[in-house]
Amino acid sequence: MSLRPIVALAASMLLAGFALRPDVRPVADIDPVVFRANLERWQTLPEPEREALRERYARFCDLTPGEQEALQQRADMLARVRGKLAQRQGHDATPDETAAELVRLVERARRAAPLPPGTPEPTDAEFLAQMENRTRRSVAAFLDRLARRGDITPQQLAHLRAQTLPEQLRDALLLLKSEQINLCSETVPAAEADELMRLPPLDVASRADRLRQQRGFLGRLGTAVPLTEDDRKSLATDDGEPEIRERLRDLKGPDLRDLLSRKGVPSEQIDALLSGPVNALEGDLNDLLAHSGSR
Partner 1 sequence: MNERDGIRLLEYLDRRLPPDERAEVEAWLKRDAEARRLVADHERLWALLGEALPMPDVAASPDFRERTLRLAEQERPAALLPFRTRAVALLAASLLVVVGGWAWWSASQRSGLSPGDRAVVGELRVLENWDFLQAHARELDLAVKAEVLHHLAGELTKEVPR
d(CA 162, CA 157): 9
Decide: is 60 part of the binding site for partner 1 (CB under 8 A): yes
Tell me the window of 7-15, 84-92, 185-193, 263-271 that interacts with partner 1 (CB under 8 A): 7-15
Could you say which of 46, 48, 90, 114 contacts partner 1 (CB under 8 A)?
114
For partner 1, the closer CB: 275 or 292: 275
Could you give the CA distance from residue 287 to residue 281 in angstroms, rounded to a whole number? 10
Q: What is the DSSP string of 157-208?
A: HHHHHTS-HHHHHHHHHHHHHHHHHHHHTTTS-HHHHHHHHHS-HHHHHHHH
First to last CA, the chain: 55
15 binds partner 1 (CB under 8 A): no
- Are the beta carbons of 260 and 225 closer than 8 angstroms? no
Q: How many binding residues for partner 1 (CB under 8 A)? A: 86
Q: Please tell me whether residue 202 binds partner 1 under the rule CB under 8 A.
A: yes
Rounded to a whole number of angstroms, the minimum distance from the CB of residue 19 to partner 1 is 11
Q: Is 91 in the site for partner 1 (CB under 8 A)?
A: no
Q: Does 7 help bind partner 1 (rule: CB under 8 A)?
A: yes
**Interaction of residue 34 with partner 1, rule CB under 8 A:** yes
Considering only 33, 39, 129, 174, the residue that binds partner 1 (CB under 8 A) is 39
Residue from 64, 34, 31, 78 nearest 167 by CA: 64
Residue 18 or 91 having the CB closest to partner 1: 18
Question: How many residues in total does the chain contain?
Answer: 295
Among residues 65, 83, 242, 266, the one that binds partner 1 under rule CB under 8 A: 242
- Of residues 255-294, which lie at the interface with partner 1 (CB under 8 A)? 275-280
- Closer of 32 and 266 to partner 1 (Cβ): 32
Each residue 148-187 as x (binds partner 1 by CB under 8 A) or -, in order, gives ---------------------x--xx--x-----------
196 part of the interface to partner 1, by CB under 8 A: no
